[in-house]
Amino acid sequence: MDYTLTILTINSSSIVILLLLAFILLLATRFRGENGYAAAIIVLPNVPVYFYNMSRMLGWYEVSLFMFPISFSVNTLLMPLLWLFTLKNFSPDFRMRWRDLLHFLPAVVFLIISIVISEAEVLQNIQSEASGEDGWVGNLNTIIVFLQMVGYYIAIFVYIFRRKRTIAQTSSDAEWVQKEWILHFQILFALLFVVVMVSYAIWPRTDAWLIQILNVIAMAYLVYNSIAHPVVLPSKVDDAINEYVERVDDRLVDENKTTIAVPEISQEQMSDICEQAVKYLTDSKAYLDNNLTLAKLAQDIGVGQRLLSRSINTLRNQNFFEFINEMRVEEAKRLLLDTETSGYSIDSVYTECGFRSRSTFFLVFKKITNTTPSQWLKNKLAEN
């Protein structure tokens, strides 16, 4: 198989696979909002570019002339779409605003540039790319895409880790476990981006085949996890607390807006607080309430929210999120062993343990025990 046929095969196969992945995603998730962004990530920045690559390499210059402005415009959409996808997943109430359209300004600029320059100059750029050397439009596009990657990934990772911290401090539900794959996806995509840029620097023509292969891998990961990890909406109480924690961070603010330092606390005091929390949760079974929050528990046991959080973090080496879910998993184990007499099945146990969804229960159970509920039960029964 010669090089040209290889390029044609890789690009055409990638187009078919990506369109199929987008269709499967939308069909399986019933076109929910955050998955609409995921489908756009799969199709918009990629498929037109691959069509352009094929036409350019095969010498179909009429097709290349048509696809040239579209290709150099849409490939600047990837990072804005990844950013909006992240916001949508971590903020279910997120809605596009007029100012969010500024993220797509580079796409508009490149579309205008590609239309304004003469057909002869466009054709010269296409022929240069086909021979292995980018024209000035391609070089400018590469610079912009590189700057987007750096800028957006800084923003994405800062935002995700900030949300992780907020969720861990305030929510007893497994919201982070349900969304953790998004961080993994972003890391995977960033690493693939580094591979692409290094390969491009060594041999520029890798943009005609390597990007496509790596993209299909990343998008397959995106589709699988979008389907496997449905969004768990936080309660209104959680939303209010999250907003408060983000606003004050690690400080307390009085009515006069003056900063008050969080009081110091001894190891003995933290131990007493933890024991008090465990006793209350054990006696009241409050951990089975899927709306339980750090603020609610602190109020119920008469301890400051920050002091309770610090005590759990320091003495138990856990955040509130992990602390509560560990108790829920222990309850799940008890129910699993009683499935024959309790009337519960493995798939229905989660409703009695404080989890909001079956998928969240399975994720948390496996994270804590390193095995699935069914396998854990099978092992226990075998021991007996």
Do residues 80 and 35 both lie within one domain? yes
Tell me which of 72-86, 192-206, 330-344 is least confident.
330-344
Q: Is residue 235 part of a domain?
A: no
Neighbours of 213 (CB within 10 A): 13
> Which pLDDT value is given to residue 124?
87
Average pLDDT over the chain, rounded to an integer: 82
> Which pLDDT value is given to residue 317?
87
> Which pLDDT value is given to residue 242?
43
Nearest to 265, CA basis, from 220, 221, 306, 209: 306
Paired strand residues for 259: 253
Interacting residues of 365 by C-beta distance below 8 A, sequence separation 6+: 329, 332, 371, 372, 373, 376
Confidence of residue 252 (pLDDT cuts 50, 70, 90): very low
Span 263-275, mean pLDDT?
A: 84
Do residues 349 and 201 both lie within one domain? no
Confidence of residue 263 (pLDDT cuts 50, 70, 90): low
- Residue 255 — φ and ψ, nearest 5°? -65, -25
Q: Apex CA 16: angle with CA 209 and CA 8, to 5°?
A: 40
The DSSP symbol for 102 reads G
Cα separations (Å) of 107 from 42, 164, 211, 285? 17, 31, 20, 54
> Which pLDDT value is given to residue 13?
93
Residue pair 328/288 in contact by the 8 Å Cβ criterion: yes
Distance of CA 293 to the CA centre of its chain: 23
Do residues 222 and 254 both lie within one domain? no
> Which pLDDT value is given to residue 156?
95
Is a pLDDT exceeding 80 seen at residue 232?
no
Q: Look at the chain and report how many structural domains it folds into.
A: 2
pTM, to two decimals? 0.71
Interacting residues of 269 by C-beta distance below 8 A, sequence separation 6+: 307, 311
Is a pLDDT exceeding 50 seen at residue 347?
yes
Last residue of a domain, one of 160, 194, 228: 228
Do residues 217 and 256 both lie within one domain? no
Q: Is residue 243 part of a domain?
A: no
> Which pLDDT value is given to residue 201?
82
Q: Is residue 244 part of a domain?
A: no
Q: Is residue 290 part of a domain?
A: yes
Do residues 301 and 346 both lie within one domain? yes
Q: Is residue 81 part of a domain?
A: yes
In angstroms, the CA 117 to CA 295 distance is: 60
Q: Is residue 16 part of a domain?
A: yes
Confidence of residue 286 (pLDDT cuts 50, 70, 90): very high
Last residue of a domain, one of 228, 263, 290: 228
CATH number (domain holding residue 355): 1.10.10.60
Do residues 62 and 180 both lie within one domain? yes
> Which pLDDT value is given to residue 257?
41
Is a pLDDT exceeding 60 seen at residue 358?
yes
- Residue 359 — φ and ψ, nearest 5°? -65, -40
In angstroms, the CA 251 to CA 306 distance is: 9
Distance of CA 245 to the CA centre of its chain: 21
Do residues 73 and 27 both lie within one domain? yes
% of residues, the chain, pLDDT over 70: 85
Q: Is the model more confident about 4 or about 171?
A: 4
Q: Is the model more confident about 259 or about 27?
A: 27
Do residues 22 and 148 both lie within one domain? yes
> Which pLDDT value is given to residue 344?
65
Is a pLDDT exceeding 50 seen at residue 245?
no
Span 342-358, mean pLDDT?
A: 78
Do residues 174 and 271 both lie within one domain? no
> Which pLDDT value is given to residue 153?
95
Q: Apex CA 241: angle with CA 326 and CA 288, to 5°?
A: 30
In angstroms, the CA 134 to CA 136 distance is: 7
Last residue of a domain, one of 162, 194, 228: 228
Q: Provide the residue range defining the domain that includes 128.
A: 3-228
CATH number (domain holding residue 20): 1.20.1070.10
Tell me which of 28-32, 109-113, 350-354 is least confident.
28-32
> Which pLDDT value is given to residue 341?
52
Q: Is the model more confident about 264 or about 114?
A: 114
Q: Is the model more confident about 346 or about 351?
A: 351
Span 157-186, mean pLDDT?
A: 77
Do residues 69 and 165 both lie within one domain? yes
Do residues 260 and 336 both lie within one domain? yes
Span 302-322, mean pLDDT?
A: 86
Paired strand residues for 256: none
Do residues 104 and 74 both lie within one domain? yes
Residue pair 141/75 in contact by the 8 Å Cβ criterion: yes
Q: Is residue 217 part of a domain?
A: yes
Q: Is residue 237 part of a domain?
A: no
Confidence of residue 256 (pLDDT cuts 50, 70, 90): very low
> Which pLDDT value is given to residue 233?
47
